[in-house]
Amino acid sequence: MSAKHLILILFVMFLLGSAYPTAKLGLNASIPPILFGAIRMAIVFIFLIPFCKIELPNKKYLLPLFGFALSMGAGVNLFLYLSVSASSILSPLVIGAQLSVPLAIIFSSIFIGESISYKKWILIITSLLGIVLIGFDPKIADEILGFLLICSMAFFYALSQVFSRYLKELDVKFTNASMGFVAFIILLIASIVFEGNTVSHLKNLNIEAWLMVLHAGILCSLVGHMSMFYLYKFYSVGQVLPFYALFPIFGMILSFFIFGEIPTVIMLIGGII
């Protein structure tokens, strides 16, 4: 990987790590979790659509594009914010999200045909062992729902990385604008059905809530995720995904400074594994 791409991916890992503590701040400011995801996707669509050439892509891209919107846009945001809402501590969520790395490598092998070397198999097995170890932490007993939800988020994130490989010939702005639009509709409907009082919630959002959702939409999605999909034009899933092991470090550091969270020894060992 070139030096400029290495610097880019390190910056992206910082942004992705910041998504968890800033999401908690937003939810603490009384924004419902599903609505948080819907507004985030609306921001992505609104910011990108002026730069997109509106035309229907080739038929071969339609199914992967819809799959990408469902997984990355709706699935990831739904389970991410539900997990943060259901949890009182963030460290196990930040570490549990690493499950997306081995899952993405496995999915890329199944659906794209990328080879998995013995070194990658070692990565996959040790990563899974680390996640299992975290599950035995006594602190997780009260956070099991949030931990299961973040594992669901990791599943959809890994799946989205595979779909993105099928879309590498499309303009990344169009791909993400389409994702934002489809996911916004799905999440908005889900918020109306399951959370209710959507208009009232929107009227009651304070400046802190708006700042956190703007951070998620502009920095995490537009800058962070679009940079990752840009890198997929040059590198395979297996080359890019291992860097995801770095974002929990940034996430835990930020959680410490913002909330004073100190991860347990078991969490640290599981995260390192």
pLDDT, tens only, 224-234 = 877 877 787 78
- Percent of the residues in the chain that have a pLDDT greater than 70, as a whole number: 87
Mean pLDDT of the region 267-273: 60
Please name the helix (run of DSSP H) or strand (run of DSSP E) that holds residue 82, with its range, or none. helix 76-86
- Where residue 249 falls among pLDDT bands split at 50, 70, 90? confident
Mean pLDDT of the region 131-138: 64
- Please determine, for residue 84, whether its predicted confidence score (pLDDT) is greater than 90: yes
Please name which of 101, 138, 109 lies closest in space to residue 263, comparing C-alpha atoms: 138
Q: What is the pLDDT of residues 88-100, one digit of tens each?
A: 888 778 777 878 7
CA dihedral of 131, 135, 137, 139, whole degrees rounded to 10? 120
Mean pLDDT of the region 92-115: 78
Q: What is the pLDDT of residues 3-60, one digit of tens each?
A: 888 888 888 888 888 988 999 998 987 889 999 999 999 999 999 999 888 777 788 8
- What's the farthest any 2 CA atoms get from each other in the chain? 54
- Let me know: does 243 contact 224? Beta carbons within 8 Å: no
Q: For residue 117, give every residue at least 6 positions away whose Cβ sits within 8 Å of its Cβ, in sequence order, or none.
A: none
- Where residue 184 falls among pLDDT bands split at 50, 70, 90? very high
What the block records as the tokens of 175 is 């791909």
What's this model's pTM, rounded to 2 decimal places?
0.84
Q: What is the pLDDT of residues 47-78, one digit of tens each?
A: 999 988 877 778 888 888 999 999 999 999 99
Query: Rounded to an integer, what is the distance from CA 84 to the centroid of its chain?
Result: 12
Q: What is the pLDDT of residue 131?
A: 64
Q: What is the pLDDT of residues 145-183, one digit of tens each?
A: 888 899 899 999 889 888 888 887 888 888 889 999 999
Burial 21-35 (b: 16+ CB within 10 A, else e): bbbbbbbebebbbbb
Q: What is the pLDDT of residue 265?
A: 64
